[in-house]
Amino acid sequence: MPAYSTDSPLAVDFCGMRFDTPLVLLSGCVGFGEEYTRVKGFTNRDAGAVCLKGTTLQPRLGNPPHRICETPEGMLNAIGLQNPGVDRVVDEILPTLDFGETRFIANVSGSTVEEYEAVTRRFDDSPIDAIEINISCPNVKEGGVAFGNDPVMSARVVEACRRATSKPLITKLSPNQTDIAANARVCIEAGSDAFAVINTLMGMAIDIESRTPVIGNNQGGLSGPAIKPVALLKVHQVHQVCRPHAIPIIGQGGVTTAEDALEFLIAGASAVGIGTALFYDPLVCPKINQGITAYMERHALQSVTQLTGTLRLNVPGAAKCGC
The string of DSSP letters for 201-215 reads EEE--EETTTTEESS
Angle made by CA atoms 111, 165, 123, in degrees to the nearest 5: 65
Residue 233: φ, ψ to 5°: -65, -45
pLDDT in tens, the chain (323 residues): 344 555 799 999 999 999 999 999 999 999 998 776 667 666 778 899 999 999 999 999 999 999 999 999 999 999 999 999 999 999 999 999 999 989 999 999 999 999 999 999 999 999 999 999 999 887 767 766 689 999 999 999 999 999 999 999 999 999 999 999 999 999 999 999 999 999 999 999 999 999 999 999 999 999 999 999 999 999 999 999 999 999 999 999 999 999 999 999 999 999 999 999 999 999 999 999 999 999 999 999 999 999 999 999 998 865 554 55
- Whether 134 and 106 have beta carbons less than 8 Å apart is answered as no
**3-state class of 5 per DSSP?**
coil
Look up 323 and say whether it is catalytic: no
Nearest to 165 by CA among 3, 14, 15: 15
Q: What is the assigned CATH class of domain 12-307? A: alpha beta
Q: Output the CA torsion sign for 174, 178, 180, 184.
A: negative
- Whether 116 and 108 have beta carbons less than 8 Å apart is answered as yes
Angle made by CA atoms 95, 99, 102, in degrees to the nearest 5: 140
- Predicted TM-score (pTM) of the model is 0.94
Task: State the Cα–Cα distance between residues 273 and 296, nearest whole angstrom.
Answer: 19
Q: Which of 29, 51, 69, 137 is catalytic?
A: 137
Task: State the Cα–Cα distance between residues 285 and 44, nearest whole angstrom.
Answer: 10
Q: How far apart, in Å, do the first and last CA atoms of the chain sit?
A: 61
Q: Domain ranges for the chain, please list them.
A: 12-307
Nearest to 121 by CA among 55, 165, 91, 59: 165
